Amino acid sequence: MTWVDALIFSVVEGITEFLPISSTGHLMLTAKLLGHEQTEFVKSFEIVIQLGAILSVLALYWRSFLLKPEELKRVVCAFIPTAVVGFVLYKFIKRYLLADTGIVVWALLIGGILMIVFEKTRKPGADETTGVAGISYPKAFAIGLFQALAVVPGVSRAAATIIGGMLMGVGRRTIVEFSFLLAVPTMAAATALDLLSSADTFSKDQLGVLLIGFTGSFIFALICIKWLLFFIKKHSFVGFGIYRIVIALVFLFLIPR
C-alpha cells in the first residue's frame, strides 16, 4: 500500500465513519477499486485508521467524557452489548465477514431501503427524548443492541444506532450526538483488539502508512461531524438511504467481483 492509497483510504474513512452509510463497507469497496486484496494488513489498516476518527470525537466532545458523568454512564451502558458481541465473534468477523464484498453490497442495499421506509413512515412524537443525559438506561442498552448489528460490514454502526434510537423515541440530534460518543469506546475496543493480535507484524513502512491514514481520517472526520450536525437541522436521512442504494447497485452490476 502506497502513501497515496493510505491518503485515499483516510478520506473515505473520515467522511463515512459518522454518516449512516457504512465506513467499513466503503473501505472494503475502496480496497477493491484500488486493487488491494483483503490481506491481514489491509483489514488491520481499515480498523486502525478509525483511531483518527475517534480523536476527532474526543476533540469536540471531551466534556462529555470528563465533565458529564451522566452522559458517560449511558455511553458505557450502550457499549456493553457491542463489546460482548464483538469479542465473541472477533475472529469470525475478521476472517469471513470482512473478506466478503458481497455481504457489504447487499447490506448497503437493504439498509438503504429500510432507511427510506423508516423515514417515510416515522411520525415524531412530542415527547421525544432530548439530551444524551435524558436517555434512559434501558434505551441506552437497546441502542447498544442495535449497534451490535453493525458487526456485519455494510450495515453501518451510525445507521444502526441512529435508527434504533429514533425508533425508541430519541430526538434526531440527540441520537446523532449519542452515536458520536458511542463510537469512541466501540472503535477504540475494536482497534485495541486488533493491535494486540497483529501490531508486532507491522513493518516500519506499514507503520508510516498507518500514520498517514490516522492523520487524514482525523481531519476529515472532524469536518464531517460538524457538517452532519448542520445537515440534520433541516433534512432527514432519506438522502443517505438513496445513496446507499445507488452505490450498492453500482457495485452489484457494474464492478466485477
- The pLDDT confidence band at residue 255, using thresholds 50, 70 and 90, is low
**For position 238, what pLDDT does the model report?**
95
Rounded mean pLDDT of 174-197?
A: 85
Whether residue 116 has pLDDT greater than 60: yes
Buried b (16+ CB within 10 A) or exposed e, 58-74: eebbeebbeebeebbeb
Mean pLDDT of the chain: 87
Q: Which three cell numbers stand for residue 4?
A: 497515496
The mean-pLDDT minimum among 158-162, 200-204, 236-240 falls in 200-204
DSSP single-letter state for residue 39: -
| Percent of the chain residues past pLDDT 90, beyond the cut | 53
Distance CA 197, CA 201 (A): 9
Whether residue 206 has pLDDT greater than 80: no
The mean-pLDDT minimum among 9-13, 16-20, 175-179, 186-190 falls in 186-190
Q: What is the greatest pairwise CA distance in the chain?
A: 56
- Name the residue type at position 194: D
Rounded mean pLDDT of 165-189?
A: 92
Distance CA 173, CA 164 (A): 13
pLDDT tens by residue, 30-39: 888 888 876 7
**For position 202, what pLDDT does the model report?**
67
Nearest to 9 by CA among 21, 19, 36, 18: 36
Distance CA 201, CA 220 (A): 28
Distance CA 176, CA 162 (A): 6
Whether residue 188 has pLDDT greater than 90: no
Whether residue 194 has pLDDT greater than 80: no
Name residue 170's beta-bridge partners.
129
Distances (CA, A) of 78 to 32, 41, 183, 243: 33, 30, 10, 28
Are the C-beta atoms of 149 and 160 separated by less than 8 Å? yes
Distance CA 22, CA 210 (A): 20
Distance CA 74, CA 50 (A): 22
- The pLDDT confidence band at residue 70, using thresholds 50, 70 and 90, is very high
Rounded mean pLDDT of 223-247?
A: 95
Rounded mean pLDDT of 227-245?
A: 95
What is the domain partition of the chain in residue ranges? Answer: 3-253
pLDDT tens by residue, 94-115: 676 776 788 888 999 999 999 9
Buried b (16+ CB within 10 A) or exposed e, 173-196: ebbbbbbbbbbbbbbebbbebbbe
